[in-house]
Structure 1
Amino acid sequence: MKRIMVVGVSAGTGKSTFARKLGERLHIPVYHLDTLYWKPNWVEASEIEFQEAQFNLVKQESWIIEGNYTGTFHLRMKEADTIIYIERSLPVCLYRVLKRYLQNRGKVREDLGEGCIEKLDWPFIKFIVTTYFKRKDNMQERFTHFLDQNGNRKVIQLKNRKQIRDFFQT
């Protein structure tokens, strides 16, 4: 495992925390896609800027890239040797998003772009709820394609706290 994608079914699965912890254990640099996508004050990067930033990252010898951004999934998937997928239930995701907001209100998290103060709004909640099950199905299709491309690749699926804890113990 040298080029690792950490993805999840939704916001609130714990991707960022997991990626940081994995990076510390493996001594591999961690990159959060939100820091590449969001410019100060929640301004979106252009599609070209976002793609170029990822293209430069995936050419490195080793990396952990955290985040979904399915529109550029193919850029990372082409160079990755491992995908770690975190799937938590919809109620858990929503709870964790709310908890994260309350803990970080008025602050900028290290896994967000500079100047992006923590926020939570109805469109984001609605996005999580309305896309959760479709995203869950689409991820499985992506994993099949990823594995079909190269037999040496791995997909690790973690669906609860115990599986995540056990992963770090092995």
Structure 2
Amino acid sequence: MKKIAIVGCGGAGKSTLARQLSEILHLPVIHLDKEFWQPGWKMRTKEEEQKIVEKIATQNEWIIDGNYQDTMPIRFEAADTIIFLDFPTLLCLRRVVKRFFKYRGTTRPDMTEGCPEKLDWEFVSWIIGYRHSYRPIVFKRIEQYGAHCQILIFRKPAQVALFLTDLEKSSSI
């Protein structure tokens, strides 16, 4: 595993998993939220996003976390591993609320400085609609662009924990 793309609903734990994998595998982490958002919650253009991901994808090693379905084809074609955190909606909502209180008034480490943590209806409704609207798109993109690589779909945090434990054991041998 040298090029890992991590996707999943907001609050699923993509950034946390990316950091954990980085510690075990010694790979650089790229948080797309940090790359795509500019201070003041201003989003880059789709063209800028494409160029950023195209440049990152050519690197020899990386862990990229984030959704951004328009750039999934680039990441998935370049990846050797795709990890989909396919967790229940209520779990993701609970984690987002917990994250909000943890980072309220500050910028979390995987976000651009100048984008303090917020919790608004737009984000909550996106999470609520994720399984119905976005999840099928993720599966379609995996099918279209990920046939050449290892696909890991985790539906429970315990599965992720076991995966990390096994990976840590095998990488220390």
Same fold (TM over 0.5): yes
| Post-superposition offset of 1:106 | 0.5
Alignment partner, residue 104 of structure 2: 105
On the 8 A contact 2:5/2:75 being kept in 1, the answer is yes
Residue 78 (structure 1) shift: 1.7
Query: CA shift at 1:87, angstroms?
Result: 1.3
**Quick check: 1:154 aligned with 2:150?**
yes
CA contact (8 A) 2:82 2:146 kept: no
Q: Which residue of 2 aligns with 1:167?
A: 163
* In structure 2, C-alpha distance between the alignment counterparts of 1:102 and 1:7, rounded to whole Å: 23
Identical counterparts, % of pairs: 38
- Alignment of 1:6 with 2:6, yes or no, is yes
**Per the alignment, in what secondary structure is the counterpart of residue 22 of structure 1?**
helix
- Following superposition, the deviation at residue 162 of structure 1 comes to 1.3
Check conservation: 2:69, 2:138, Cα contact below 8 A: no
Q: State how far apart, in whole Å, the 2-side matches of 1:93 and 1:20 are.
A: 18
CA displacement 1:42-95 (0-9 Å, x = unmatched): 111122222111111110000000001001111111211110111110110111
Aligned to 2:139: 140
Per-residue deviation, residues 5-60 of structure 1 (Å, max 9, x unmatched): 0111x101000000000011100000000011100111111222221111111100
Give 4+ residue runs of structure 1 displaced > 4 Å after superposition: none
Shift of 1:134: 2.6
Q: What is the number of residues matched between the two proteins?
A: 166
TM-score after normalising by structure 1: 0.93
The answer to whether 1:25 aligns with 2:24 is yes
Query: Is the partner of 1:108 in helix, strand or coil?
Result: coil
Deviation, structure 1 residue 140: 2.1
Q: Which runs of 5+ in 2 are unaligned?
A: 167-173
Q: How does 1:41-120 map to 2 (within 5 A)?
A: 41-120=40-119
Counterpart amino acid of residue 3 in structure 1? K
What is the TM-score normalised by the length of structure 2?
0.91
